[in-house]
Amino acid sequence: MTNRTSLTLYAATLAFALLGAGGVKDARAASDVASLLAAADRYRSGAGNLQVETEVKVLNRDGSTDKERRYTVFAQVQRKSLVLMRSPAEQGQKVLMLGDDFWLMMPGSQRALRITASQKLLGDASTGDIATLSWADDYTGTLVGEEKCGVQACLHLSLQAASKGVSYQRIELWIGKARSEPIAADLYVHSDKLAKQARFVFDNADAPTTVTEMVLQDRLSNHKETRVRYVSRQAKAVPEAWLNPMFLARNPALE
Amino acid sequence: MTSPERAQLPRLAWHALLAALTVIAAGAAGAGNDDFGGELRLRREQLRGNAQGPLAAGESLSPGVAPPTLSASLAEAELRGVWRAPALDLVRASIFGNALLAAERSDSGAAGSQRTTQARLNEGFVAGDFGAWQASVGKKVVAWDVGYGFRPNDVVQQERRRRLLTTTQEGRPLVEVERFHADASATLVWVNPQNANDTDDASRQGLESALATRTYVRAGSADWHAFARWGEHTRASLGAAVAWVATDELEWHASARIMQRHDAWQFDSSAGNAPVAANPWLQTTLGGAAQALLGASWTGQQQISLLVECWYDGTAPADSDWEAWLSRNRALAAFGTQPGLPSALVSAAGGNLAWQATPFATNNLRRNNVFARLAWQEQRWVLSLDALVTPSDRGRVVTAAVQWQGERLRVNAAWRTYGGPADALFSQLPQSQVGLLAVTLPF
């Protein structure tokens, strides 16, 4: 083998090694981001299968209440959620989400309607804000870098939607570096316009274990503040039948 | 025991069973998670009578034979309740109730203003939760199929579609058993068991005792439904439907049904074009027919949605039947306006013209229909505009509606206008325009 051939072979081997290392590094980085997202999710979702009583309050610029809604959310593994509307204005409405498939039941119809991702986003966007308790299931992300969030060090993650029907196509998320608790998020809609900015309120500021409230500031249209308060959480795996669209017309017995 | 007494027994037995189940379940009730509520509703229905059509022509010849329906104001209270019995090992039982109390006051007409009150049980049933098995006994709304403007396979409830205001319907007495899997379900319903063995004439227009089944399967982005029904006098029908989410914005749906027999209005051809002593339009059981619907809905990012459907209803009178109907209308009008005709015969002509409105009481007037609905939703507001067109006579029904939803209060307003060429069926209905204003307060 000539020197030129050896050199070429050596360069090619080195190039492949570096590319391979880069691929391994990308895979590991992706895995790290997934782990970080899962850790951040635990502050919102806790156990795998949950029943979450949620209160959503929309405040006007002067601080007065514009709208108040209550929901019962059965958030289940594998991106399955059943949302029951509890407020008088929406009493009887139900939304079922099974991965990228959605159904709506309106009071008085007694019939579940198969709806598109766009139809799910009609009207109140609260359904998406309250029913999605997992970024890891719906988003892929990259680590942008380490930044300062107030006085604490945090990690900036850039998330892209991996599922249909999510309210936000892109999320810029900041999580605590030490504990991976969610601190703030910029939420972008499909047109890549900044729709809302979120910050998270915890049960214990010094030793957070659970997000008790998510405060959303509208940056797109009405500039109102939305407070999503998680009134209670309990582990609950709903019967398989409850996640059948045809079961929506029945009233599930709540325990 | 005579025949009428024997015929009453199944109905009495049904009512006794229902009462017994209610008492038993009520005795066991008392657990938490009971749920009570309802809504109060005030509404105004404004009707503009049509100067065209057989009713108007009949009233013109014989005043009082078909006085126009008056506009009215209504106050309604809808009360809902769910009582949940304490959970047992094998079953959880619940009692569901929905009742409507209504008072109506019509505008002043020839007979003055009329006041009526109504108390109606929309739903009252006992439900048993056996895990994957579910059962219900009582009066209940069971609504099937996938369409918006028309539902060929809504074979249990048989709901009239496209009402100006969506309210809880009156359910049907039934026994229902369902089995649920993760992505499939099977339902068996015995509707109107109390009417079993009734005569055909006593069990028309949704009152027929029938067995109905629905099988549902979810396959990815599509929902598939299969239906079967066996009616006591309409016999067998089979149907299928699908709803398919094609893209993030677009959904398609289709439904089809074939039936061995169907109930419909039939004209007694022996009446010809002359006045007769009795209404020549009778509800009759006719032969086989088919129904089909194809539709799509598109929803854009600007909160605008468009729904388009076209359907065929083989149970509606054929175009040739309506041509004969028009011919009879003209003949009766010409007969009744002959100079020197005795007043009794003028009245007879007027009465017969009023009877010509009888076949309007049907789900679809024409067999072929096209429907489109455009809606825009923003915060508390929903605005919509829809049109139903019958291509065979270019008749049209156009409806504009708006809804405002507050924290509790909901306001609905709608205006519907019927029109088309003079011979179009929609141009000959008793009303030319209908308006609605409703205020609803849930509690």
Taking 3-state DSSP, the helix, strand and coil percentages for chain B, each rounded to the nearest 5, stand at 20, 50, 35
Q: Do the chains contact at A253 and B94, CB–CB below 8 Å?
A: yes
> Which residue out of B79, B178, B443 would a mutagenesis test of the A interface target, given it has the greatest number of A Cβ atoms within 10 Å?
B178
Q: Which CATH architecture has domain B3-442?
A: Beta Barrel (2.40)
Confidence tier at A118 by pLDDT (50, 70, 90): confident
Compute the distance between CA of residue B124 and CA of residue B103 in angstroms, rounded to an integer. Answer: 21
**Range with the poorest average pLDDT among A44-48, B143-147, B263-267, B408-412:** A44-48
Decide if A118 touches B, using CB distance below 8 A: yes
Q: Which of B181, B184, B248 sits opposite A116 (nearest CB)?
A: B248
**Tens of pLDDT, residues A51-100:** 999 999 989 888 888 888 999 999 998 889 999 998 888 888 899 999 88
Res B218: pLDDT = 96
Going along chain A from its start, the domains and CATH numbers come out as 43-75+129-236 (2.50.20.10)
Closest CA–CA distance from residue B132 to any residue of chain A (Å): 6
**A245–B301: do the CB atoms touch at under 8 Å?**
no
Residues A215-249: tens digit of each pLDDT: 999 888 778 898 999 999 999 999 999 999 999 98
Distance CA B443, CA B434 (A): 29
Q: How many CB pairs under 8 A join A and B?
A: 125
Is there a contact between B301 and A118 if contact means CB atoms under 8 Å apart?
A: yes
| A223: its two tokens | 């500039």
Mean per-residue pLDDT of chain A: 83
User: Does residue B385 surpass a pLDDT of 80?
Assistant: yes
Check A240 against B143: CB less than 8 A apart.
Answer: no
Give the span between the Cα atoms of B93 and B28, in whole angstroms.
9
Contact list, B406 vs chain A (CB under 8 Å): 89
pLDDT above 70 coverage of chain B, percent: 91
B258 CB neighbour count, 10 Å cutoff: 16
ipTM surpassing 0.95: no
Interface test with A, best of B245, B306, B403, B412 (most A CBs within 10 A): B245
**Residue B244 has what DSSP assignment?**
E
Q: How far is it, in rounded angstroms, from Cα B151 to Cα B169?
A: 16
Contacts of A241 in chain B (CB under 8 A): 131-132, 134, 180-181
**Nearest residue on chain A to B176, judged by CA atoms?**
A250
